[in-house]
Amino acid sequence: MTQLAVAANENLAHISNVLIYSSMAVYTLAFFAHIAEWTFGSRSKVGRTAAALTGGAARTAARGPAPAVQVTTKGGGTAVLEQPQVVTRAASGSRDVPDGPGAAGGTEQGDLYGRIAVSLTTLGFLVEAAGVVARALSVQRAPWGNMYEFSITFSTVAVGAYLVLLALKKNVRWMGLMLVTTVLLDLGIATTWLYTDSDQLVPALHSYWLYIHVSTAIICGAVFYIGAVGTVLYLFRDAYEAKLEQGGKPGKFATSVLERLPSSGSLDKFSYRINAAVFPLWTFTIIAGAIWAGDAWGRYWGWDPKEVWSFVTWVAYACYLHARATAGWKGRKAAYLALFAFACWIWNYYGVNILLSGKHSYAGV
């Protein structure tokens, strides 16, 4: 490589670093915009979900059945019709609870800050994606050769998946604050502790399988993360609904935040669909890794720590999907299993790469 080419690659690496730090600055602005959205949304005057929760059996017991309606027929006579019962949307087997109004709480000012937050998140995504591309150009390969590169690509894909859901008109803006917070945490760890010079590459990674196996692993992790966010919020929302159902009085902060989320049934369904959709791709990721191992090391499976924990993660998600489809394991039990599965994925990334040694020790730190 000529001296001019080396200098060009160094400049690209520097540009990549600047873009990654710039994306962090934009994400920080998006974080504050989401905070403003939730703050102004708390002042909403729209009907509260708590009223819907306490307004079913409690109102029926206090006031009796819904009043009848008297109508006049064509012949001049009268007839009495029972007022129809309004049933809100909810998942099968869950409470009949409507979705909350969202982080903005139905307020114009809250919605304005929410739209600003989404715009800033989109800008941060574009800047970060440019940083990932600049990193790839600086080394003339896929930017997934070490944990730093994997981390910046992971957060880019996670934000991209969130924006795709928004573009598809899915009601997911409620996860914006948690998403931006964890993306900032991911980038902070990557730039502070995981940074590696762009010219480092393990010889075994010089393969077209890098584009297949690692790219699918990143996509799976990013989408599993979105499913985990939905699961965590489901547990909080379900506990909130249960407390109201039992006549309890949650604190003002919990009420203000949790009542604006989708219902527990909606969150449960969302998490299940996300995890179920990406599970086949995770299966393919493991198979692709085994084929790559056969090409690189002459064996398809060697019980390397990374291989073992990838399989453990697969088993955990398989158990979750099976449990979620079994009546006795729906709800909180299945949710705990989903979080355990995602914890296995996190351990497989951070713990195995940094704390355990093996053929997949590509941390570079």
Taking the C-alpha atoms of residue 18 and residue 195, their distance in angstroms, rounded to an integer, is 13
299 burial (CB, 10 Å; 0-12 / 13-18 / 19+) is exposed
164 burial (CB, 10 Å; 0-12 / 13-18 / 19+) is exposed
Identify the residue with better confidence: 240 or 207. 240
Identify the residue with better confidence: 236 or 55. 236
Is residue 47 pLDDT above 90, yes or no?
Answer: no
Mean local confidence (pLDDT), 323-331: 78
pLDDT confidence bin for 202, thresholds 50/70/90: low
Identify the residue with better confidence: 362 or 73. 362
pLDDT at residue number 10: 87
Q: What CA–CA distances, in Å, run from 106 to 38, 204, 260, 262, 337? A: 11, 54, 9, 13, 34
pLDDT confidence bin for 199, thresholds 50/70/90: low
Is residue 1 pLDDT above 60, yes or no?
Answer: no
pLDDT at residue number 88: 36
Q: What CA–CA distances, in Å, run from 324 to 230, 236, 265, 320, 338? A: 15, 18, 13, 6, 9
Structure tokens at 112: 């304005």
pLDDT confidence bin for 91, thresholds 50/70/90: very low
pLDDT at residue number 361: 60
Contact present, 12 and 134 (Cβ < 8 Å): yes
Nearest Cα to 206, choosing from 143, 141, 300? Answer: 141
pLDDT confidence bin for 37, thresholds 50/70/90: very high
Is residue 60 pLDDT above 80, yes or no?
Answer: no
Is residue 46 pLDDT above 50, yes or no?
Answer: no
pLDDT confidence bin for 90, thresholds 50/70/90: very low
Cβ-based neighbours of 97, under 8 Å, separated by 6 or more: 49, 52, 53, 88, 90, 241, 263, 264, 265
Is residue 20 pLDDT above 90, yes or no?
Answer: yes
Task: Give the Cα-Cα-Cα angle 260, 265, 270 (nearest 5 degrees).
Answer: 90
pLDDT at residue number 14: 93
Is residue 141 pLDDT above 90, yes or no?
Answer: no
pLDDT at residue number 44: 60
Mean local confidence (pLDDT), 222-237: 96
210 burial (CB, 10 Å; 0-12 / 13-18 / 19+) is middle
pLDDT confidence bin for 327, thresholds 50/70/90: low
Average pLDDT, the chain: 84
pLDDT at residue number 218: 95
Mean local confidence (pLDDT), 328-335: 84
Percent of the chain predicted with pLDDT > 90: 59
Which residues are registered as beta bridge partners of 265? none
Most confident range, picked from 17-21, 47-51, 95-99: 17-21
Taking the C-alpha atoms of residue 94 and residue 258, their distance in angstroms, rounded to an integer, is 17
Is residue 81 pLDDT above 50, yes or no?
Answer: no
Is residue 67 pLDDT above 70, yes or no?
Answer: no
Q: Which of 61-75, 104-118, 192-206 has the lowest mean pLDDT?
A: 61-75
